[in-house]
Amino acid sequence: MNKARCVSFRNTEGVTLNGMLHEPDAQMARGVCVLLLSPGIKGRVGPHRLYLKMADRLMGMGFHVLRFDFAGLGDSEGAIDESVLADVYNSIQSGRYVGDSVAAMDWMTRECGVDRFVGSGLCGGSITALLAGAADLRMRSMLALSIPTVLDGGEANWGRFATDRQLDGIRRGYISRLIKPDAWRRLLTGKTNYRALGRSLRAALPRTPNESPAAAASVETAAGPADDTNPEFAPAFLRFLRSKRPMLLVFSGGDRLQWDFEEKFVARNRSQLQRLASYYEVRAIANANHILSDPAWVRELLELAAGWLDRVHPAPQWPRGN
């Protein structure tokens, strides 16, 4: 019978982490655990209980599902000392919770005898899964939801590092609002992101044939164009694929993260990715926002995830009785 229970385990620093383990019926168990890693500073439930919905569907398919609070979050022990939220996000995208994720796999192997894992999670949860999986082969696959390719830097840096399509969207948005008095009041009272607006306008100016809008609008420094790409991302992503472990990346169509992925990772590593193309898939849920708040978007995600997991971790074929 499917069941969920409270669990606790310690990370390598001795901090107690608390969470929930969803266990499938023994006759259906695939011997694979999906780690639903917490998104950013949110807890193990996920936005609008997304992780509960995922856990229920995946447990019903025969997967163990473990979701827990990272150190300093939710019900787990520990503390977060940073005073600026962007610093917390950057630390997560640089591997802050990799040790907690490895501790979770250690606990599952020791307590439940499960040593095959799917790394998953929304946003910060997915980058944590990638960084952990790049170093730990027990993570046999990845189901990444809106994985971030860049570091977080607040609104000012978002404007500084926007991609081509983001710049075009910013420019179109400002132009469409020029007829509205509120837009002019915002512009004159300092509430507009002037950096983003300036870059979007510069990107529309004439440029050389091979120069992208983002490059034309970039602020040059002694080291070249400014860039917010996470330096940990490409090495971890390519290492994961080179080990022939499959990956499904699901992006929200109304989110900027797929643009970042395509322009700041895929375009720069195209030749290597072409050789590894059979190991990863990219799908987008049209018009969805970052947290997939519409039930229809959640249903589409669950169908994508279930179909893909069924292919890469098929259910065991038990011998039929006489």
pLDDT of 9 above 90: yes
The pLDDT of residue 158 is 47
Q: Are residues 139 and 35 in the same domain?
A: yes
Q: Is residue 72 part of a domain?
A: yes
In this predicted structure, which of 75-84, 120-129, 284-293 has the lowest mean pLDDT? Answer: 75-84
pTM as predicted: 0.77
Instruction: Tell me whether residue 318 is in a domain.
Output: no
The length of the chain is 322
> How does the average pLDDT of the chain come out, rounded?
85
If asked whether residues 100 and 83 sit together in one domain, one would say yes
Q: What is the pLDDT of residues 198-235, one digit of tens each?
A: 655 665 666 555 545 544 444 433 333 457 899 999 99
In whole angstroms, give the CA distance from residue 140 to residue 119.
8
Helix (H), strand (E) at residue 282: strand 280-285
CB-side neighbour CA atoms (13 Å) of 21? 20
Asked if the structure places residue 292 within a domain, the reply is yes
For β-strands 139-145 and 224-225, DSSP reports them as unpaired
Distance CA(302)–CA(168), nearest Å, equals: 32
pLDDT the model gives residue 157: 46
Whether the pLDDT of residue 95 is over 80: the answer is yes
Instruction: Tell which of 225, 257, 286 closes a domain.
Output: 225
CA distance 163 to 159: 9
Residue 146, C-beta contacts closer than 8 angstroms, at least 6 positions apart: 122, 123, 126, 250, 251, 252, 255, 257, 290
Across 161-165, 226-230, 293-297, least confident range: 161-165
pLDDT on residue 222? 37
Q: Tell me if 217 sits within 8 A of 203, measured CB to CB.
A: yes
Q: Indicate whether 45 and 70 sit together in one domain.
A: yes
Of 48-52, 156-160, 166-170, 302-306, minimum mean pLDDT range: 156-160
* Residue 79 neighbours by CB under 8 Å, 6+ apart: 72
Q: Which of 225, 246, 278 is the last residue of a domain?
A: 225
Q: Within a domain: residue 294?
A: yes
- Provide the CATH number for the domain around residue 118: 3.40.50.1820
Q: How far apart are CA 95 and CA 216, in angstroms?
A: 32
Domain final residue pick, 225, 254, 277: 225
Strand 117-122 with 33-37, pairing: parallel
Alpha helices in the chain (DSSP H): 50-60, 85-93, 98-112, 124-135, 154-160, 164-177, 181-188, 194-202, 213-217, 233-242, 257-261, 270-275, 295-312
User: Does residue 289 sit in the same domain as residue 190?
Assistant: no
| Encoded tokens for 98 | 């990799």
Q: Are residues 63 and 122 in the same domain?
A: yes
Domain of residue 245 covers: 3-152+229-312
Return the minimum-mean-pLDDT range out of 41-50, 64-73, 187-196, 239-248: 187-196
pLDDT value of position 184: 55
Question: How many domains, in total, are found in the chain?
Answer: 2
Calculate what percentage of the chain has a pLDDT beyond 70: 75
Of 222, 195, 190, 227, which Cα lies nearest the Cα of 212?
227
Contact by Cβ (8 Å): 35, 105: yes
Residue 155 has pLDDT above 60, yes or no: no
Amino acid at 186: R
Residue 39: predicted pLDDT = 93
| 88, 26: one domain | yes
User: How many CB atoms sit inside 10 A of residue 206's CB?
Assistant: 6
Residues 290 and 248 in one domain: yes
Pairing state between β 280-285 and 247-252: parallel
Burial (CB < 10 A; 0-12, 13-18, 19+), residue 254, is: middle
Residue 70: predicted pLDDT: 96
Distance CA(60)–CA(233), nearest Å, equals 32
